[in-house]
Structure 1
């Protein structure tokens, strides 16, 4: 079950995005509201294009690219939520001060590692995507 705030944010994004593309699609807004971001890659792969926007004609490839983007955003949200929860942890009498410092240091290290690894993943996937699109889709 997706948290309500994630479903709400993704639903509002779909509504604003489809309105910007001059095709406010209430069906997609309702689907994303009910099922959450699970179907966002399919919406992204099938939405109308803006002027000067190009994408390959292969629906499966567009869904794969959208899944990569959505997954990175959702993992980033999870990392941010864990980081904020651990850094703003209230003083708990059951946890020693040293243990709280270790948790905060680990949270900072995890955030830094995520930023580095997400950048590497995005760079690598963009290189892979451009190679595939040049070779097979002639974009």
Structure 2
């Protein structure tokens, strides 16, 4: 089922993946569920780091069905480079990174988004999920 195109993006969700054909479906379901629970408009960017399996093919299927999704294909680079590349491509006010399958729990999203909502520039990592306000302000506040 296609989801409606979101309005202005509040949050950019970045999911770095590589050779994740066995886990990318669960990551997508977890992120979708957490976003519905949090009630925020978001863009979801899957950063495929040179997967040698069907990961990219699966991501393209999700992208065709869900207009919130973008797929960024990069050569084999570290996860942080993929996160930075995705962040530069977006215009969201906050960026949340889901580094691994199972990390995108509603509780983790609620904690990170709540800290951002209370003014933190860089909330502490919650359940593997981490984020930051964009652009980072001078005198970054950690919560």
TM-score, normalising length: structure 2: 0.28
Question: Which structure is larger by alpha-carbon Rg, 1 or 2?
Answer: 1
TM-score, normalising length: structure 1: 0.29
Of structures 1 and 2, the one scoring higher in RCO (CA 8 A, sep 6+) is 2
Q: Which has the higher strand share?
A: 2
